Structure 1
Amino acid sequence: MILPTTVVGSFPAVKGRGLSAVLDPYRHAVRFAVSEQIRAGIDIISDGQVREGMIQTFTGKLPGIRDDSVISSVQAAAKGITVADTRYALTQAEKVKGILTGPSSIAHALRIQTPAYRNREELVIDIAHALAAEAQALAREGACIIQIDEPILSTGVADIATGAEAIGIIAEKVDLPVCLHVCGPLEEIIDHLLRLPVAILDIEAATQPENLEIFTDKELKGKMVGCGCVASSDHEVEPVDQIRQRIERCIDIFSHDNILIDPDCGLRMHTPEGAFAKLSRMCEAAQVVRGEYR
């Protein structure tokens, strides 16, 4: 399929009621997020990332971390952190991506309160090894892509060389396409990103159209690009024609057979109706453009 549609990850958390909600407050939210992605027409769905925040989902399960503090050497979780939700998604859809919050983004959200780490860079590497085990578990479960979310890389706060090493640690442990999602402007780090051992770079292009321009004289080195064609930061639901124009601009830069179509970022902060409408219109626009290549 050309121009496959996907999501960056999160969907609004719609919790259920009754006994099942007492046993698992997010059970209904996962099922709702999965069903809404499928109803919208998404080709490669996620589990919805509805549990807690993108940092807390992992820090709450990794030994060595308590609340927002690192208290000892970080180790892999005893069992899969996101595996159960991904397993459910795979009962509903053929193609599901597994999603990890990146080691650098997690490490920079924590306070180091142990002599086990001399600096934050050492922490990033240990978190990468812990997340590599999660990536392997997701791959065994049947995920078709492992996505690593590293929003911090474009801010200049995190050491890019350490971040790259950490991404490589995860990527080498799975025999699947690895996607790196990075938010924000990429001009300062694009050369670093293109050297990473990932199959897909996922970028913001709806609200950061300048990200497209920096690729005009760059060699992708075999990578595909996930093009954000719907604004996640804006609650307005864009017209299909506007999304179509964004997709066509991405095609002008990367070619129709080298891109995936998705929102700029997650949609957790939207209403369920708004998130569905954005995904549905994105899929409709992608279908219109696909028709031009048949």
Structure 2
Amino acid sequence: MITTVVGSYPVITKKPETIVEKIKNFLGMFDEYKYAIEKAVIDQLSAGIDIVSDGQVRGDMVEIFVNNMYGFEGKRVIGKIEYTKPIILNDIKYTLKILSKHGNGKGVKGIITGPCTIASSVRVEGYYSDNKDEKLIYDIAVALKKEVMAIQDYVKMIQIDEPILSTKLYDLDVARKAINLITKDIKVPVALHVCGDVVDIFEDLNEFNVDILDHEFASNRKNLEVLEIIEKKVGFGCVNTKSKKVEDVNEIKALIEEGIEILKNNDNLKNKDVKEFMLIDPDCGMRLLPIDIAYNKLKNMVAASKLIG
């Protein structure tokens, strides 16, 4: 079974140590986050993850994007949102460089924060009416579409993070149109990650133009219900990223097997190998966990996936 991550990893930065690094730091050219990316990628590879992330180390999921788009000043909207340059491409390329040395052919996931989640996290001071202005959401989507086009040749898959959707604060029809704008004609598989309780909105999520729906099942077992009606592949979150407890391999294996048994009863997947419709991953990002806890959760998750017959 293919294993991956939802995105973020604990951030371990490095101060300049060598003479060359100190000179670069003096000249403002030293990048303390390169070590954090390397640590995140190597830990994921060591744990056995198949499709890794760059660790999303440069800030929270919103900051990474709003800090690099025109129309934002920090998390304030002051003008029309526009795309100016690739945002995560350089970190993806650096991740690929690390993989070329250590990765044994494994791939990278490009991770984009979705338009509704970005809109919900900023203060609108100009150009748009408020956080739910459809023009704001669609303009963010247009910018994100250009970002996806910029990275798609370098990644095995793309993930769009829209955690805000489970709160029901945003119109799902608007959200669907925005996501569909981003995913149209993309050459690699696209996952939509929505954490929280998705049972009540799942029929709508099934209509989004994505290949994979990614949800949390370890910390929100009620979500297992959606496996009875899912029409796409499922990103199966099977370790709880809100808890510092490292789940036992057999505990994780049992949850994955429970998910498989439910998928076998899904009429949309009759006569198909349901294990091919599952990607195994954590519930959500791991940025806030101690690094040893995050690593051991991934390691046990991979071990559990390999025990599935």
TM-score of Structure 1 vs Structure 2, range by shorter chain: over 0.9
CA distance in structure 2 between the partners assigned to 1:225 and 1:98 by the alignment: 17
CA distance in structure 1 between the partners assigned to 2:32 and 2:65 by the alignment: 17
Given candidates 43, 48, 54, the residue that maps to 1:47 is 54
Of residues 86-95 and 110-119 in structure 1, the stretch that sits farther from structure 2 once superposed is 110-119
CA distance in structure 1 between the partners assigned to 2:227 and 2:237 by the alignment: 15
CA distance in structure 1 between the partners assigned to 2:87 and 2:212 by the alignment: 23
Given candidates 142, 148, 159, the residue that maps to 2:160 is 148
Say if 2:264 is the partner of 1:251.
no
CA distance in structure 1 between the partners assigned to 2:224 and 2:260 by the alignment: 10
Q: Which residue pairs with 2:268 in the alignment?
A: none
- How many percent identity over aligned positions? 40
Q: Which residue pairs with 1:7 in the alignment?
A: 5
Given candidates 55, 69, 74, the residue that maps to 2:76 is 69
CA distance in structure 1 between the partners assigned to 2:250 and 2:127 by the alignment: 56
Q: Which residue pairs with 1:282 in the alignment?
A: 301
Q: Which residue pairs with 2:176 in the alignment?
A: 164
Q: Which residue pairs with 1:139 in the alignment?
A: 152
Q: Which residue pairs with 1:121 in the alignment?
A: 134
Contact 2:13 2:33 in 1 (8 A): yes
Q: Which residue pairs with 1:86 in the alignment?
A: 92
Instruction: Give the deviation of 1:120 after TM superposition.
Output: 2.1
- Aligned residue for 1:63, secondary structure, equals strand
Q: Which residue pairs with 1:17 in the alignment?
A: 15
Contact 1:108 1:120 in 2 (8 A): no
- Aligned residue for 1:188, secondary structure, equals helix
Of residues 7-16 and 205-214 in structure 1, the stretch that sits farther from structure 2 once superposed is 205-214
Matching of residues 181-200 of structure 1 within 5 Å: 181-200=193-212
- Sort the Cα spacing of 1:179 and 1:43 in 2 relative to 1 into closer, same or farther, 3 A: same
Unaligned runs of 5+ in 1: none
Instruction: Give the deviation of 1:117 after TM superposition.
Output: 4.8
Instruction: Give the deviation of 1:89 after TM superposition.
Output: 1.4
Measured against aligned partners, the alpha-carbon deviations of 1:81-115 in whole angstroms (never above 9, x if no partner) come to 11111111122143111000110000011111113
Q: Which residue pairs with 1:233 in the alignment?
A: 242
- Aligned residue for 2:79, secondary structure, equals coil
- Aligned residue for 1:256, secondary structure, equals helix
Of residues 223-232 and 155-164 in structure 1, the stretch that sits farther from structure 2 once superposed is 155-164
Contact 1:121 1:159 in 2 (8 A): no
Contact 1:55 1:101 in 2 (8 A): yes
- Aligned residue for 1:8, secondary structure, equals coil
CA distance in structure 1 between the partners assigned to 2:159 and 2:152 by the alignment: 11
Contact 2:199 2:225 in 1 (8 A): no
CA distance in structure 2 between the partners assigned to 1:123 and 1:245 by the alignment: 43
- Aligned residue for 1:215, secondary structure, equals helix
TM value normalised by structure 1: 0.93
Instruction: Give the deviation of 1:6 after TM superposition.
Output: 0.4
Instruction: Give the deviation of 1:175 after TM superposition.
Output: 1.4
User: How many residues in Structure 1 have an aligned counterpart in Structure 2?
Assistant: 283
CA distance in structure 2 between the partners assigned to 1:81 and 1:157 by the alignment: 27
Of residues 170-179 and 16-25 in structure 1, the stretch that sits farther from structure 2 once superposed is 16-25
Instruction: Give the deviation of 1:275 after TM superposition.
Output: 0.6
Instruction: Give the deviation of 1:116 after TM superposition.
Output: 4.6
Measured on the aligned residues, the alpha-carbon RMSD in Å equals: 1.4
Contact 1:13 1:268 in 2 (8 A): yes
Unaligned runs of 5+ in 2: 264-273
Contact 2:234 2:278 in 1 (8 A): yes
